[in-house]
């Protein structure tokens, strides 16, 4: 088999694997304006910022149960780094590891994109992210490109804890 044919076959296998995952998974990538509005509504009900998100630019994912969006998460990509944000789970469905599923999906997407690290800001979920392997980091150690993001620059207050997960 020629090298190009092998690469093409490997790409096709990867695509089929992702299609199977997507078809079998309750995780849905936000790709329409209606889904985006539902995503934003769920974030706002969790008192999380949503006005600066863009589903055409950012990787936004929802967790759907019985045709109802019950969880959200997002990954903004800035060069070699990702910014995890907008992780929420609807009240009444918490405690079922939905946040874990969303977080692991986002981490897998970051690894697939060969990012060096994922950063985040949190005021209420530090313990959750510590259990996922994230560690505290001072804001001045966050890459400058992330410090200029709306999340770091003005959306989250100075009381939010910066954390990161090294991927490479």
Predicted model pTM? 0.80
Q: State the Cα–Cα distance between residues 136 and 162, nearest whole angstrom.
A: 6
Give the H/E segment covering residue 106: helix 98-112
The count of domains in the chain is 1
pLDDT of residue 34: 92
Residue 37: pLDDT over 50: yes
Q: State the Cα–Cα distance between residues 112 and 163, nearest whole angstrom.
A: 21
Sort 151 into a burial class: Cβ within 10 Å, 0-12 / 13-18 / 19+: buried
Interval 125-144: pLDDT, tens: 999 999 999 999 999 999 99
Domain that holds residue 141: 3-166
Interval 91-102: pLDDT, tens: 887 777 889 999
Residue 138: give its domain's CATH number.
3.40.630.30
Interval 64-92: pLDDT, tens: 988 889 999 999 999 999 999 989 998 88
Sort 132 into a burial class: Cβ within 10 Å, 0-12 / 13-18 / 19+: middle
């Amino acid at each position: 088999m020629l090298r190009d044919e092998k690469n093409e076959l490997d790409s096709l296998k990867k695509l089929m694997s992702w299609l199977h995952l997507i078809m079998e998974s309750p995780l849905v990538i936000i790709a329409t304006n209606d889904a985006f509005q539902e995503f934003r509504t769920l974030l706002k009900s969790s008192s999380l910022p949503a006005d600066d998100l863009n589903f055409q630019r950012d990787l936004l994912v929802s967790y759907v149960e019985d045709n109802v969006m019950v969880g959200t998460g997002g990954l903004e990509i800035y060069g070699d780094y990702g910014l995890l944000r907008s992780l929420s789970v609807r009240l009444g469905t918490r405690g079922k590891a939905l946040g874990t599923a969303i977080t692991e999906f986002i981490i897998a997407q970051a690894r697939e994109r060969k990012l060096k690290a994922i950063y985040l800001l949190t005021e209420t979920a530090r313990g959750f992210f510590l259990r996922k392997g994230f560690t505290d980091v001072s804001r001045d150690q966050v890459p400058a490109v992330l410090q200029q993001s709306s999340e770091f620059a003005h959306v989250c207050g100075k009381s939010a804890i910066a954390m990161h997960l090294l991927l490479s």
